[in-house]
């Protein structure tokens, strides 16, 4: 009974893996409401729509765009009424006045340009965030595609050892080999089934990792979702010099450049506070014979307390500017190092995958086929066949691991090249 339950579980897992893989050849529509087949393109659309950080930054940009309008130093006008000499029942003078305070024009100009640079900095930050989300989604999808391929290899492992177990048992029944060979083959079969169960668990884990990455609603995370994109070797030649040349246009560096630019305007704004603000008043006067007189006043501010007001602002703005300049230099060196390391990882993975395709993969398949034939003819023993099958399966596993690593390095390079290469 226990063995039958185990077989049913394995059959269910195998069927589910097959169902997931069948969707990989199904054409898809860009409509994200249909999740019967989930491609990378559709996953990205969902992620861009559902990602909380993207939504948060989009609203920050909206708020910052309104700050651009608010940056002009225009205050509300004041309406004033004055009456003088009312102790005796009459008055000496009364007046109505309209007063307007005006910031020195340069201050408004510098503040507005500072806010414009800040808005552009946030837009570049959003672009960099979308690139990061795209890389995260593609990485999660690659891990899932690798898990599905590993599930196929695990199924092939079970099939190989089932055939081997049957052949070993048949030879033992005919007296051509010992019962020990049949027992050893059966143990290998049980181990293969355990590996298949582990592969099934990994498929489930990577599915939910992808769903979490794209922000898919839990109610939509059903088992009938298929995955259309697979791991297949693509010949991609990426020159190291091209990668290095593209770094200056990296959104993160451009974002910090805009922060530096905003800091420059912030420093100019701080210096402009030494310049006088103005106050204008226009009024009508009544000296007892109606409002027959008109007047105006003009006032300017004097930065008398500059030691405690304007000077610290300039020093503060200068410190912020220096900090942002060093921040740019730090990020420039960091991005260069990361790009160099990623390119060398890509080159290594590319060389490894090409060796597998040109030599190792075909030879391991030929070896297992020849060994199976030799064993069936009684020319080779069970240990030789087992070692040949292990070599073949290990080669398959290593090939897909190398292919996965190749995909991941190209996905990382996409962020530096600012283009789509994998799952395009």
Q: Say yes or no: 20 and 150 in one domain.
A: yes
226-227 and 78-84: which strand pairing? unpaired
Distance CA 110, CA 114 (A): 6
The distance of Cα 169 from the centroid of its chain, to the nearest Å, equals: 53
Q: Are the C-beta atoms of residues 144 and 227 closer than 8 Å to each other? A: yes
Query: For 22-34, what is each residue's pLDDT tens digit?
Result: 444 443 333 455 6
Residue 410 clears pLDDT 90, i.e. is over it: yes
Q: Are the C-beta atoms of residues 255 and 124 closer than 8 Å to each other? A: yes
Q: Are the C-beta atoms of residues 168 and 182 closer than 8 Å to each other? A: yes
Distance CA 42, CA 54 (A): 17
Lowest mean pLDDT among 20-34, 240-254, 305-319, 331-345: 20-34
Lowest mean pLDDT among 147-156, 303-312, 320-329, 364-373: 364-373
Q: Are the C-beta atoms of residues 403 and 353 closer than 8 Å to each other? A: yes
Q: Say yes or no: 64 and 206 in one domain.
A: yes
Tally Cβ neighbours within 10 Å of residue 88.
7
Through-space distance between the first and last CA atoms of the chain, rounded to whole angstroms: 49
Q: Compare 405 and 380 and report the one with higher pLDDT.
A: 405
Is residue 338 within a helix (H) or strand (E), and if so which, with residue range? helix 310-355
Q: Say yes or no: 90 and 128 in one domain.
A: no
Distance CA 253, CA 286 (A): 64
Distance CA 13, CA 194 (A): 12
What's the number of domains the chain is made of?
2
Distance CA 30, CA 44 (A): 11
Sign of CA dihedral 55, 56, 61, 66: positive
- What is this structure's pTM? 0.77
Q: Say yes or no: 138 and 194 in one domain.
A: yes
Query: For 161-177, what is each residue's pLDDT tens digit?
Result: 777 777 777 766 666 66
Give the confidence band of 352 by pLDDT, cuts at 50, 70, 90. Answer: confident
Could you tell me if residue 422 is inside a domain? no
Q: Are the C-beta atoms of residues 5 and 103 closer than 8 Å to each other? A: no
Q: Say yes or no: 179 and 293 in one domain.
A: no
Q: Say yes or no: 336 and 292 in one domain.
A: no
Q: Which domain holds residue 46?
A: 2-71+103-273+309-417
Residue 14 clears pLDDT 60, i.e. is over it: no
Distance CA 362, CA 246 (A): 38
Q: Are the C-beta atoms of residues 222 and 163 closer than 8 Å to each other? A: no
Q: Residue with structure tokens 């340009």?
A: 113
Q: Say yes or no: 222 and 298 in one domain.
A: no
Could you tell me if residue 155 is inside a domain? yes
Partners of 81 in the beta sheet? 96
Alpha helices in 215-296 (DSSP H): 240-246, 251-272
Q: Say yes or no: 164 and 234 in one domain.
A: yes
Tally Cβ neighbours within 10 Å of residue 419.
10
Residue ending a domain, choose from 265, 285, 305: 305
């Amino acid at each position: 009974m226990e063995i039958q339950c185990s077989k049913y579980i394995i059959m269910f897992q195998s069927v589910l893996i097959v169902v997931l893989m069948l969707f990989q050849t199904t054409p898809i529509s860009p409509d994200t409401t249909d999740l019967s087949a989930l491609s990378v393109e559709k996953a990205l659309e969902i992620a861009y729509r559902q990602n909380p950080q993207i939504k948060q930054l989009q609203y920050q940009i909206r708020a910052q765009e309104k700050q651009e309008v608010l940056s002009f130093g225009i205050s509300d006008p004041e309406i004033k009424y004055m009456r003088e000499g009312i102790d005796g029942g009459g008055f000496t003078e009364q007046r109505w006045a309209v007063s307007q305070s005006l910031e020195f024009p340069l201050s408004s100009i510098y503040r507005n340009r500072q806010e414009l640079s800040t808005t552009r900095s946030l837009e570049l930050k959003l672009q960099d965030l979308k690139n990061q989300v795209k890389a995260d989604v593609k990485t999660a999808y690659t891990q899932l595609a690798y898990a599905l391929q590993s599930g196929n290899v695990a199924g092939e492992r079970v099939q190989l050892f089932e055939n081997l177990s049957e052949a070993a048992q048949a030879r033992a029944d005919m007296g051509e080999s010992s019962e020990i060979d049949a027992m050893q083959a059966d143990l290998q079969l049980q181990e293969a089934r355990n590996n298949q169960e582990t592969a099934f668990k990994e498929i489930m884990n990577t599915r939910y990792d992808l769903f979490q990455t794209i922000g898919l609603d839990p109610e939509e995370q059903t088992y009938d979702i298929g995955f259309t994109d697979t791991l297949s070797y693509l010949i991609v030649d990426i020159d190291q010099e091209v990668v290095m040349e593209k770094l200056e246009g990296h959104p993160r560096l451009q974002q910090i450049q805009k922060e530096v630019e905003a800091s420059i305007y912030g420093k100019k704004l701080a210096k402009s506070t030494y310049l006088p603000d103005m106050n204008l008043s226009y009024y009508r006067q009544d000296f007892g014979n109606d409002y027959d007189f008109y007047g105006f006043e003009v006032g300017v501010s004097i930065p008398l307390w500059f030691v405690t007001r304007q000077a610290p602002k300039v020093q503060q703005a200068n410190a912020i500017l220096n900090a942002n300049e060093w921040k740019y230099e730090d990020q420039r060196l960091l991005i260069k190092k990361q790009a160099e390391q990623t390119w060398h990882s890509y080159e290594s993975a590319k060389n490894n995958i090409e060796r597998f395709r040109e030599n190792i993969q075909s030879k391991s398949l030929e070896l297992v086929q020849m060994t199976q034939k030799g064993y069936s003819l009684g020319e080779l023993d069970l240990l030789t066949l087992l070692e040949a099958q292990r070599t073949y399966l290990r080669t398959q596993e290593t090939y897909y691991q190398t292919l996965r690593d190749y995909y991941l390095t190209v996905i990382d390079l996409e962020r530096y090249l600012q283009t789509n290469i994998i799952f395009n």
